[in-house]
Amino acid sequence: PEKEEGDPDLDGFIGADLLRFFCVTLDYDAGEIVFSATAPEPRAPIHRLPMRKQIPLGFPLVEGLVNGEKKITMMIDTGSPFPIVCPLTLIENDRAFSVVPVVKSLGTFMTWPGTTATHNYRALTETIRIGDPIFPGLTLDFAELPGPFSLSLVGYEFLKYFITIMDFPRGELIWIPKSGGLPKSAESSGMAARKQEGRLIVRGLWPGSPADRCGIRLGDEIIRIDGRNTGTLSRREIDGYLSSDLGNGLELELTSGDGLRKVLLRNEK
């Protein structure tokens, strides 16, 4: 697909040929990336796990275990806005996911340049183990990934719960959990939307989600989110609203075949 409105304009990438000399610390809350010769002395509690480099491109990789039996190799992808995304072929061809609750999307949530899939899947796991830490009740998303990224991806929506230290020279990843707690699968809006010619259009829905229950459909245009005009919102702000926990509800004003209407998305009680 073509570049979407709201995508960041980049002049280049910092690659493995440079990163391999450094210990890199990511702190999303502080908005900082720190390059150092050695890892800072982390405070407890911390999680340490082996990190290896994908050959030949050098992406940082860690190993995970789903439901105590399915091994998956995951790339730390700081540019991905999603939590954990696995290749679409994995869920379509692997029996390990035939016994867990799986939902097929209407439209798409996750696409990359060069991919053509018209749907995604979401599976609720009992546990995901990454190194020593075990995360109960997380969801895995499944999407068609571009050729070089045929591995599973660990992105921002997972990494934001930690200060992440990637010690490239020593081949070690360190996670320091933040005070807000570890990742959990809270019910969000269950929809994805992207700007097209200045209009914010619904392009993905999870069946049974708050958005689906409120009668939102693919192609609807969202005019306001919690009173804010969507024309003034960045892609990160839009994704933040639509992926956040609906503890206090989320009010949308939108247009569809039924005209202009307002809906309030809430968790099921």
Please write the tens of the pLDDT for every residue from 43-81. Answer: 777 889 999 987 777 889 999 999 888 899 999 988 788
Predicted local confidence at residue 224, as pLDDT: 96
Across all residues in the chain, what is the average pLDDT?
86
Higher pLDDT, 117 or 6: 117
Provide the pLDDT for residue 9.
Answer: 59
Confidence at 203, pLDDT banded by 50, 70, 90: very high
CA distance readout (Å), 99 to 27, 69, 127, 139, 181: 37, 12, 14, 14, 29
Tokens of 90: 């994995």
Q: Which residues contact 20 (CB under 8 A, 6 or more apart)?
A: 53, 58, 168, 169
Residue 36 or 57, more confident? 36
Q: What pLDDT sits at residue 146?
A: 82
Cα 248 to Cα 161: distance, rounded to the nearest angstrom:
21
pTM of structure: 0.86
pLDDT band (50, 70, 90) for residue 113:
confident
Q: Which range is most confident: 131-135, 184-188, 224-228, 247-251? A: 224-228
Q: Is the pLDDT of residue 2 over 50?
A: no
| The pLDDT value given to residue 4 | 53
Section 202-212 average pLDDT? 94
Q: How confident is the model at residue 184 (pLDDT cuts 50, 70, 90)?
A: low
- How many residues can be counted in the chain? 269
pLDDT tens across 213-230, in order? Answer: 999 999 999 999 999 999
Distance of CA 130 to the CA centre of its chain: 16
Query: Taking Cα atoms as reference points, which of 246, 243, 245, 224 lies closest to residue 233?
Result: 224
The mean per-residue pLDDT over the stretch 165-184 comes to 86
Structure-block tokens of residue 140: 């895995």
Q: Quick one: pLDDT at residue 7? A: 55
